[in-house]
Amino acid sequence: MSLRKTFFYYSQLYSFIFVLFIFFTSCNNQKNNENRKPISLTFERFDLKFYNQPSGVIPKLKKEYSFLFPKQFSDSTWIKRQKDSLQLILQNAVQNEFPDLSNIQSEITDLFEKINFQFPKINLSRVIFLTNNVDYQLKTVYGDSILLISLDTFLGSNHNLYNGIPNYIRKELDRKYIIPQILEKFASYVIPPSKERTFLAKILYEGKKMYLKDKFLPHLQDKIKIAYSDDEVKWVKNNEQFIWQYFIEKQILYKTDSELTERFIEPAPFSKFYLQIDNESPGKIGVWIGWQIVRSFFKHNPEFPLIEFLNLSSQELFNSSKYKPKR
């Protein structure tokens, strides 16, 4: 083959490869765009507007953020809080940990553009960052049009301001859990509460919430979605069959005892089987099992509509899951 023909051949080949690259890139971009719907969000640092500011800003803030100022408290209460040394230490820690929130803002926007595609009636417009006395039971609050994020509950599990907080709670007080925590609150908002009081209904409700993390945060590891360590994930995977066998043999699934929620669903240092293995187990075992049942459901029903799934009764969901733990 002559040099000219060789050159022509390879130039044509490269052109063909380039066209294919552009084509598939375009298809992928189109697919990504199809799975999201643009949303306009405003991000507000209430903490910076409140702390290290003159007391004269209080009346203006009360008008702009009335939902953050309970009417039973006078302006003097808020002025005192502005100057409180412990509050200023907390705010300084927040500012040191979060001098720039652009990455987190991008992640939140990305998340809600995906959510908006599936739930077009959701009208979130404001995301407000604040501090809230390290109230780890209210790390985030979702209310349709407003999302509140308490930055002081995400300073890092080893932060000295968290001394005295139990380790099983401290481990979730880290910035890597901000997005999963937001989705957790969103899931609680959109998933209809079960009318059933059985343990099965409760763990499947939790399983539905976890599945929304699979759906909208597929890039995250399971350990981040459920806030487990590597060892805890390994333990639940290795013992899934035993856990399920225990639930069946003790006839737990259809019991309505409220103590089962504390033993197997709520955050805890370990789950309570009342056996020697308790100290080896992580908390929230029921959440993990509910999650695996839901995953099994979608394995057998991959095209099932998301909204219909969220409204499925626990028994319908369980029966259709064909759940059977691996040996």
pLDDT, tens only, 211-244 = 999 999 999 999 999 999 999 999 999 999 999 9
pTM tops 0.85, yes or no: yes
Confidence check: pLDDT of 8 > 90 = no
In whole numbers, what is the pLDDT of the chain averaged over residues? 91
Q: Note the pLDDT tens digit of each residue in 46-81.
A: 999 999 999 999 999 999 999 999 999 999 999 999
Better-scored residue on pLDDT, 210 or 17: 210
User: Does residue 19 surpass a pLDDT of 80?
Assistant: no
- Output the pLDDT for position 9: 44
Asked if residue 191 lies in contact with residue 209, where contact means CB atoms within 8 angstroms, the answer is yes
279: pLDDT strictly greater than 70: yes
What would the two tokens of residue 314 be? 């626990």
pLDDT per residue over 106-145, tens digit each? 999 999 999 999 999 999 999 999 999 999 999 999 998 9
CB 210 within 8 A of CB 224: no
Q: Residue 288 CB: number of other CB atoms within 10 A?
A: 27
pLDDT at 327: 67
Q: List b or e across 193-218, with b for residues whose CB sees 16 or more CB atoms inside 10 angstroms.
A: eeebebbbbbbbbbbbbbbbbebbbe
Q: What is the largest CA-CA distance in the chain?
A: 90
pLDDT at 33 over 60: no
Q: What is the pLDDT of residues 283-310, one digit of tens each?
A: 999 999 999 999 999 999 999 999 999 9
Quick one: which of 69, 75, 74 has its CA closest to 56? 75
* Tally of residues, the chain: 327
**Does residue 28 register a pLDDT over 80?**
no
pLDDT in tens, 148-166: 999 999 999 999 999 999 9
Instruction: For the beta carbon of residue 165, count every other beta carbon within 10 angstroms.
Output: 15
Give the span between the Cα atoms of 51 and 45, in whole angstroms: 10
Look at residues 156, 130, 141 and name the one whose alpha carbon lies nearest to residue 51.
Answer: 130
